[in-house]
Every structure is written in structure tokens, then in C-alpha cells.
Structure 1
Amino acid sequence: MRDIACCRPVEPGRPVPAGRGLTRRSVLLSGIGLGLTLFGGRALSPQGVAEAVAAASPADRVLVCVSLSGGVDGLSLAPPQHDRRYDRRLRPQLWVDPATTLAMRGTDELRWHPAAASLKRLHDRGRLTLLPAVGYDGPNHSHFTSRHFYEVGATDPQGTTGWLGRYLDVVGTDHNPLQGLTLGETISPMLAASRVSVAATDRPQDYRIATPGIDGGPFHDELLRAFAALGRGTSPDPVLDAARAVHGDAVDLHGQLQARFADGPETYPEGRLGTRLADMARLLGAGLPIRCGTIDAALDFDSHANQDGSFGRQVDEVGRALEAFQSDLERRGIADRVLTLVWSEFGRRPEENGSVGTDHGAGGVAMLLGTRVRGGQLGAFPGLASLDPDGNLRATVDYRGLYCSLLEEWLEADAGPIVPGADRLERYALLA
């Protein structure tokens, strides 16, 4: 198969996405479809994937990163209650009436948007930590550039590898493409590595062995049995022997994955976020050797107009999907080894614009989800009295320090070789 470069198109004058120029290879051997696309590293056979599954440790910790693209409006998600500047003069239509909000455990400073009932339940249970103002000094208000900074783990327009990719370059192996897995059509720049291979799959349960002209039924099943028998044979010809082995490996892996996807998932909301989180829970529950997983929520929080018509619906979908995911992990008995970071590239401007929306701002929202998180709130709400020079909320948590803390506390890795300037960045207590 011809190699093709990965990642999203480049906007003129914007940073090149991390991973641009990595080759990608679909694992397609003699008509056998694996459903995985490998990025970087070496092309692997189904046998290589099966060996990685067998070598996985059930105790390995996993970090799942969920991106809420577009810039979530934190002043709507967690509206302040005692900041006198937060009123209808600032937001004539988008002001959230305190009478409609939901109490936030442990504080009377912030409350939850009325559509955030699922997030409130997670927070009340100590399963969710809210970070109300995450960012960096001198914030860039371009989606493309700010996302790039979050993906590479540095305010570096020239960054070519993702922060999770660099982590995997340190701790990963040559023979485990699932160590960094994006559930989506192409690899997340966060996972762009320089040494090891990583993978992406849009629908992992669609793994199949292609039998052109025969769609299911007894003839398809008979062909699979023939492939399996072929794989068990031997041949003095090394080329034929290798072909037999590939067919046998593919049939074995097909059976393993189909069995692992057979159990019914938790009830997830409709939409790509719910589907992808359900798939991630199944893969982790099956013991696949995933160290870092990334998911784009496939929602658009870039609410320049009519924000009141979309924000609540999207927050409800995100909350229900995350609540189902956490419940699913707990039901499977693997929740103690999975931590989820939910992030967005920036926040919105405090004042409502003329289109009943909000424009690009700073001091964005993040959340940590899991049984091991401290819960409550990390970083103070900065208030509206002292905005940055652009009139936006100031960040009280540096996202790079957050990454260092995740690497050191959760993944138990030295952040120094992974996050530029790690020794100068503040650390945050994340785990209970």
C-alpha cells in the first residue's frame, strides 16, 4: 500500500500539525482487513498485534484524552455566583440565572449549568475534578495554533511530535502499535511519535476478514475455517509458509476481537463521542495494551452565534457520555487504572457578542475523571475583576504543568525529557 502523510490540512501561516510527514500504513495483507491504521514505526502483521495483546500487563495505567474542540465557554459551564460583574450587562441573553443552576459540591463560588447534571453527579461522587481556568501566558486565540500548543505540550509553533508521542518514545516498544491509539479516522497529533508506532481506528469492532463476493452466512464461515486450517499447516517453501502464518494469525485475531466485543456496553448517548468512549471501554476491558488513548468528541463549541441554542445540548451529551464511560470502567473492574483528561483549546470572551454568542478567549476549562482523582476543583476561578490585557480570563493552571503532573503522578514518568522547560513549571496534586 502506498504511504501517505497524516494529519489535518495546514492553514496558511499556521503551525504544521505534529506528526505531519509521518507515513501511515493500513494493515492489509492478501485481502485481510485489520481495521487499524499504523503511523510511523514499522508495518506490523496481525501476529505482531496479537503478540502485543498477549504481553499486555493488566496493571498498566492508561491515560485517555478527550478533546472538546472549539473552545468551551467556562462562564456558562460553571457560572460564578458572587462575582458582581457576571450579570445581564455582560451577557444579556447568555447569563445563566442562578435559580436554574445546580449546586457544586465543596464550593459556593461556582455552580453547574442546568444541562450539566451528569457532570454534577460525577463531581459529587468525587470522580471528577474541575479545572475552571487552564491556559498559558500570552494565549493565542487561533484554534489551529492553540490546539497545536496543547497537542505538542509546548508553546512551540515548530513542534513536530506530540507530548504523548514523546512519552511513548521513552516507555513504548517497537512491537505494540496499540500503545498509542486514536479512536477516529486519523491519528491525533498528541500521539505523534518519532520512534515507536501508534495507531488509529474509526470502528474497531468492524475488524473483519474480507471474503469478496461472499457477505456472511455459512459460506463465509466455511472460508474462515479454511483460512484457520491453512494457517495451521506448514510448507517447505518459506514464502508459502509465511503466507499460511499470516492467514492463521488473522483468523485468530478476528476471533479474539469478535469475542471481546460481544459483551453489551453501558448505555451511552447517541453520537460519536458516546460511540468512541464505548469502544475505548471495550478495548481496555479486553486487555488490549493501550497506554494512551485519544478521542475527539466531534462536537463544536466554537459558539460565535446562537450559543444558547447549542451549548446546553452539547454539555448534556458530553456529561452523559463521560458518566457512562466511568460507569462502564467501574463495571468492568478496570477503573482504578484509567484516568481521563477532558480539554479544550481555550475559553470564550467574558462579554456576549452581538450575535448571542461568545468569541475566542482564554482561561479554558478542563476536567479530570476517574476513581483516583482528588475531586473538587483544581486552580482558582480567576474572577472578572482582573482580566488579561485582551480582556479575557487569566489562567490559574498552566496546561504544561498539568501535563508534567499527569506524567509524574499518574504515568510515573520523568516529565523532563517530555515537556520542554518542565523544571520551571508548577506541579499540581491530582490524585487522592
Structure 2
Amino acid sequence: MAQSRRDFLKSVLGAASVVSFTPAVPAILSNAAAAAAESNARESDTVLVVMQLSGGNDGLNTVVPVDDDVYGRARKTLRLTKQQVLPFDQQFGFHPEMQGFKRLFDEGRLMIVQGVGYPKSDRDHETAIRDWHSARPGDRTCQTGWLGRTVDRVDRPLEADVPAALVGSIMKPLAINAESSVIPAVRELRQWTRRDPAGQAVPRPPADPVPADGQTLADLVARGTRAAAEMSERVEKVLADNAAAGSYPNFRLAGELRTVSQLIQADLGIRIFFVELGGDGFGGFDNHANQRDNHAALLRQMSESVAAFVDDLHRQQLLSRVLLMTFSEFGRTVTENGRRGTDHGAAAPLFLVGGRLKGGLCGDHPSLADLDQDAQKPLIDFRRVYATVLGPWLGFDPAVAIEPTFKPLEVLT
């Protein structure tokens, strides 16, 4: 069977990059180079950043219902008072460590989606995270994730495009598992520059004339090598420009979001990023005991890191292209336990952050007087959030990942 020119380009350019660069350069650079060889920069493409809060975030102490008597009675030691929170209206306030989020909320760059979850969660970590990642609650056989299925089925300018990346050191999440697409893991952008084993820059190939429509193996390899070299130089320029750019706080999450920003600036065609908070260091958001300090530290890391990320994107005039969403596998119980912690709950708020949001609150706050086994009942199914970021935001068909019955939320301008 005859091989298409596009398939041939993909295989040849991938091999050319291995020959031209150090073995440390990941495959995504060669794939991006192949795309760059035939298409212009897609500067108007929107980008989604998905942030997992591992362990089950306590939504009640994140977005605090300060005037609710049920909250006050249920949390003898964990309660946050009206004097402690960062108020944004008469009923609610942010946790005091979330100054960055409060500023973004005031600027209209952060929305709170209230009461997000799904029916009949069994509140088990492994099961719940599988449900959120697969977007098929109850299906224990599903081996692909909602983002992986999206990547498999979206129409891409070139088959060599890599539209998604995992940034950080966590194990590959089910959410990005795909049937046919390879979604790479990235730790930092510096590894994507053209260096020899000694760390020295590799010279750019000579600019000998190569026919633009040449079909010989030599022509294809030469164009691919040169395109990959140009792509690497773009990465080098981003690194140089960022050396004098605004600062990020000294958190792991902040470093990963800075890498995401750099990848967006380098315009490698990546549309979806996945990052995580809570999987190391602090022990995650699963605070069954002594919650106060641990939860505060995690919320501070999230708030300051995301605020720095938004400021960076705004400075680079990229914020209008980027939407960040958070999620956690479940919320926590309303009543604190006997160890100054909380147990597995159900609904919780999530956050949307970006430059094209309506701002404010989306949805109602689940009643604390009508609970399901001491947990807030979900009012917005998480798959409606997925439909929003896949459809109206990214411009993909959400039906490739979730059932079409879940309609997008009206949160974008």
C-alpha cells in the first residue's frame, strides 16, 4: 500500500531529528518541526490547562460560606470566620492564603463553578479519580481518558502535530490515555534545545537551497532538519526572553506552570496541558487529620502559582488564548472529624481562570441543610465543565469524549 506524503514526512522528519539533535531531545520537538515545515504559526489557537488537585480538596474551606450557621457548628476547629477570610460578597470569602485568587476574581479573570460533582460517587480515591479522568463514571473497563479521546479524534493540520502534553513528574494520568496518539511528558523546556552530549549548542545546518517541492529523501530530510533547527531556536529565544521576565514563586507547581507558559510562547502547536498539585511534599489534599496548616499551604501554592502564570501570560499578550481549569476527585464532609480533619465528600467548587471569562460565580452553592451522608450534593455535573472547555473554548466536538446530553456552561465571553 502506498504511503502518503504526510505519513512519509512524519516518519522521515522524526528520524531526521534524532540524527540532527542530541538523543535527549524528545519526539515532540521533531513532530512540532514537521508541522512547522508545512503550516504557519497558529497564534489564534486557544489553549487549555487542566490542573488536578489530588486527594479531594475541601471546598468549604476554599470558598467559605462564612454566614452559614451549619458551617460554623460543623467545624469547631477548622472554621474560618468572616474576619479571617478574603470576602468577595456578603456570603462568601476565599481562604486567607488565596490572595492571588482573590485578585484574579476581582479582575474578572477567575470564575468559581459551584457544586461540581456527579451522582452516586462512592467516594473512593481510585474509583473517583478514574471517573473524572475517563468521564465515564461506573465504567471500570474504560482505558482511555476524556483528553486522550479528544486528541485521538480532533482534526489536526498535520498528523505529526502533538496537541497535548503532561507537564511535571507525576505518573501518566488516565485522563490523557489515548488509543493512537502519543502524549509526551515534559519536565522543563531547556531539555528541548539542540545540545550535544557535552551540553554545547549544535550549529544550525547550512542554508543550502532545497527545492520547496522536492520529494527525494535528501530533500525531505534537509527540510525537516532545518525546520527542527528553527523550532529549537524559537525555544532558545523563549528561554532567553524569560530569563529577564517576571518572577514565579519557588513552588514546584509554579515551575511547571512557567514551563507551560514557555511552551505556549514557543508556539509548538500544543493545545492541551495537564499539571498536578498535591501528589508530593504536602501529602495531598486528603486531609483526614490536622488539616488546617496542610490545606493552607496547598491553597497558597495554587493561588500564588496560578496568579504568577496569569501575570506572565498577560505580559506576553497571550492570556486571551489560555483557559485554566482545576478539578479534584471529590470534596470533603461538612462536619470535621475527631482528628481536626475532614473525610471524603462529594460536590466541591472548581475554578476557571483566563482572559475571556464572564467572571464571578457560576451556579448555586449546594445547601448545607440538605446533605448526602454529610456531604454537599452536586448541582453541576463535571461533564458540563468538560463540554465547555472542549466545545466553546477549544472548538472541538465534545461528543468525541463525553455524552452529548451534557451541555456547556455559559461562562465565556
**Which interval holds the TM-score relative to the shorter structure?**
0.7 to 0.9
Contact 1:172–1:179 (CA under 8 A) maintained in structure 2 = no
Instruction: Confirm or deny that 1:33 pairs with 2:23.
Output: yes
1:255-302 deviations in Å (ceiling 9; x for gaps): 221112211243211122101111111211222211111111245211
Contact 1:132–1:378 (CA under 8 A) maintained in structure 2 = yes
Instruction: Confirm or deny that 1:169 pairs with 2:147.
Output: no
Contact 1:28–1:34 (CA under 8 A) maintained in structure 2 = no
Instruction: Confirm or deny that 1:139 pairs with 2:121.
Output: yes
The structure-2 alpha-carbon separation of the partners of 1:334 and 1:243, relative to structure 1 and needing over 3 Å to count, comes to: closer
Contact 2:253–2:305 (CA under 8 A) maintained in structure 1 = yes
The structure-2 alpha-carbon separation of the partners of 1:26 and 1:77, relative to structure 1 and needing over 3 Å to count, comes to: farther
Partner of 1:355: 339
Q: Alpha carbon RMSD of aligned pairs, Å?
A: 2.8
Partner of 2:64: 79
Q: Aligned pair count?
A: 385
**Shift of the alpha carbon at 1:233?**
9.8
Q: How far apart, in 1, do the equivalents of 2:199 and 2:254 lie?
A: 28
Partner of 1:51: 37
The structure-2 alpha-carbon separation of the partners of 1:161 and 1:37, relative to structure 1 and needing over 3 Å to count, comes to: farther
Partner of 1:201: 186
1:210-258 deviations in Å (ceiling 9; x for gaps): 534x344xxxx5xx23x735x9699xxx888887777655544432211
- Which of 226, 229, 234 is the equivalent residue of 1:256? 234
Question: Which structure 1 segments of 5+ residues have no match?
Answer: 1-24
Partner of 2:8: none
Q: How far apart, in 2, do the equivalents of 1:401 and 1:120 lie?
A: 25
Which residues in structure 2 correspond to 1:316-331 (within 5 Å)?
Answer: 316-331=300-315
Contact 1:27–1:45 (CA under 8 A) maintained in structure 2 = no
Partner of 2:371: 387
Q: How far apart, in 2, do the equivalents of 1:368 and 1:252 lie?
A: 34
Partner of 1:20: none
Query: Residue type matched to 1:133 in 2?
Result: G
Question: Which structure 2 segments of 5+ residues have no match?
Answer: 1-13, 211-215
Instruction: Confirm or deny that 1:341 pairs with 2:325.
Output: yes
1:66-118 deviations in Å (ceiling 9; x for gaps): 1111111111111212321112x4222111122111111xx322211111111
**Shift of the alpha carbon at 1:37?**
5.6
Contact 1:45–1:246 (CA under 8 A) maintained in structure 2 = no
The structure-2 alpha-carbon separation of the partners of 1:152 and 1:112, relative to structure 1 and needing over 3 Å to count, comes to: same
Instruction: Confirm or deny that 1:369 pairs with 2:353.
Output: yes
Kindly indicate whether structure 1 or structure 2 has the higher relative contact order, using CA contacts under 8 Å at least 6 residues apart.
2
Contact 2:63–2:349 (CA under 8 A) maintained in structure 1 = no
Which residues in structure 2 correspond to 1:305-316 (within 5 Å)?
Answer: 305-316=289-300
Q: How far apart, in 2, do the equivalents of 1:36 and 1:400 lie?
A: 33
Contact 1:177–1:197 (CA under 8 A) maintained in structure 2 = no
Partner of 2:130: 148
Contact 1:133–1:393 (CA under 8 A) maintained in structure 2 = yes
TM-score, normalization by structure 1: 0.81
Q: How far apart, in 1, do the equivalents of 2:93 and 2:15 lie?
A: 47
Q: How far apart, in 2, do the equivalents of 1:91 and 1:26 lie?
A: 60
Q: How far apart, in 1, do the equivalents of 2:399 and 2:199 lie?
A: 52
- Which of 64, 72, 76 is the equivalent residue of 1:92? 76
Task: Give the SS at the match of 1:98.
Answer: coil
The structure-2 alpha-carbon separation of the partners of 1:405 and 1:243, relative to structure 1 and needing over 3 Å to count, comes to: closer
State the percentage of identical aligned residues. 28
1:103-155 deviations in Å (ceiling 9; x for gaps): 11xx3222111111111111111111112321000013122221111112221
Task: Give the SS at the match of 1:165.
Answer: helix
Partner of 2:362: 378
The structure-2 alpha-carbon separation of the partners of 1:45 and 1:370, relative to structure 1 and needing over 3 Å to count, comes to: closer
The structure-2 alpha-carbon separation of the partners of 1:317 and 1:27, relative to structure 1 and needing over 3 Å to count, comes to: farther
Partner of 1:398: 381
Partner of 2:86: 102
